[in-house]
Amino acid sequence: MTETVPRPTLEAVAARAGVSRATVSRVVNGSDGVREPLAERVRQAVDELGYVPNQAARSLVTKRHDAVAVIVAEPETRVFADPFFARQLRGISKELTAHDNQLVLLLTEDRDDHVRVGRYLAGGHVDGALVFSLHIDDPLPELIQRAGLPTVFGGRPDFNGGRGGVSYVDSDNRGGARDAVRHLLGLGRRRVAHITGALDQTSAVDRHDGYRDVMADADPRLVARGDFTPASGERAMRELLGRHPGLDAVFAANDLMAAGALRVLREHGRRVPEDVAVVGFDDMLPIAEQTEPPLTTVRQDIEEMGRLMARLLLRDLDHTGTPEETSGARPDGLILPTTLIRRSSA
């Protein structure tokens, strides 16, 4: 809109209600000490004029914006291409909405933009931050820390945050990976390959560690690096078939890469699961049900992770400054269990 109706002012409300500016301010900011008939008159004037309190001024009093920033430490293009993020955002959105907090998603093109994100966070526009998909050496955590904002991470960060610790929600990535590989061994497979996720992220490192817990003596050429994208799953599968044509099973660190691996196996005439059994990670629907054959995978409850991140943060915001919270009495990391889901691929 190039032209806008002038906003009704505090003064206009005061005049309409026949009270002082200070009285209007007190009522609008929800402080006590204004007698009821007077307070009611102010509220009526607010309604009649459609007065919207200046939140910047209001939040100087309440110290709350009722808004939470969400930062996905990935380029905007990946945020929309990988359904993992949509699912986590869904959980966050539901929880924040239930508490009448605005979800403020800060999108970026690349890591250079994180400085600008830090500036916005420091600007007093949100009460706290939810951050996911951190990569090692990302400048974001330090920028957020400087901004002085309560933060909950999705996925274990690779630093401990000093004395106070770091709040995060994660899945049992290592345990889930162990379950996947043990399941493959239980089917009688012996040459179990692994396609890793982006190894600058703890989720990928933990799943790789889980694979190695079970396959400690395996040929290292059975491991190929991916980065969680479908294309990287295809590439890694080709690499593995070239290096190790006798492999009889693959554990991929997420379902998108497993789907890519299935395409390449089909291309090479390998039957799944007869020749090569495949297990993914995530249980990303509908993808995991629509692959050929449908994918056996390790389920993590991504939406619930998002919901819990939001819940932890809102609890932090409600308790800021109480001694129990700041002394680190509560657990820093909340780890959700995973479940192996059997379909046809293994």
Interaction site with a second copy (CB under 8 A): 1-7, 50, 52-56, 58-59, 65-67, 76-77, 80-81, 83, 86, 89-90, 93-94, 97, 100, 102-109, 113, 116-120, 122-125, 141, 144-151, 161-167, 316, 325-326, 328, 332
**In a 10 Å sphere around its CB, with 0-12 CB exposed, 13-18 middle and 19+ buried, how is residue 61 labelled?**
middle
**In a 10 Å sphere around its CB, with 0-12 CB exposed, 13-18 middle and 19+ buried, how is residue 100 labelled?**
exposed
- Minimum Å distance from CB 225 to a second copy? 26
- Minimum Å distance from CB 190 to a second copy? 38
Q: Which is nearer to a second copy, 2 or 242 (CB)?
A: 2
Structure-token pair, residue 229: 């994208």
Q: Which is nearer to a second copy, 38 or 105 (CB)?
A: 105
Q: Which of 196, 321, 333 has its CA nearest to residue 261?
A: 196
The residue type of 100 is D
Q: Which is nearer to a second copy, 49 or 336 (CB)?
A: 49
- Minimum Å distance from CB 296 to a second copy? 26
The Cα-based distances of 313 to 92, 107, 150, 178, 333 in angstroms read 11, 20, 7, 31, 13
The C-alpha angle with vertex 187 and arms to 339 and 215, in degrees rounded to 5, equals: 75
Q: Which is nearer to a second copy, 53 or 175 (CB)?
A: 53
Phi, psi torsion values for 272, nearest 5 degrees = -115, 125
The C-alpha angle with vertex 53 and arms to 51 and 59, in degrees rounded to 5, equals: 170
Cβ contact 330:324 at 8 Å: yes
β-pairing, 167-171 vs 192-196, is unpaired
- Minimum Å distance from CB 55 to a second copy? 3
- Minimum Å distance from CB 109 to a second copy? 5
Q: Which is nearer to a second copy, 320 or 339 (CB)?
A: 320
- Minimum Å distance from CB 253 to a second copy? 22
Q: Which is nearer to a second copy, 87 or 207 (CB)?
A: 87
Residue 163 and residue 199: Cα distance in Å, rounded?
Answer: 27
β-pairing, 151-154 vs 167-171, is parallel
Residue 186 and residue 222: Cα distance in Å, rounded?
Answer: 18
Q: Which is nearer to a second copy, 9 or 344 (CB)?
A: 9
- Minimum Å distance from CB 104 to a second copy? 6
Residue 238 and residue 226: Cα distance in Å, rounded?
Answer: 12
Q: Which is nearer to a second copy, 120 or 209 (CB)?
A: 120
Residue 129 and residue 73: Cα distance in Å, rounded?
Answer: 12
- Minimum Å distance from CB 213 to a second copy? 30
Cβ contact 239:262 at 8 Å: no
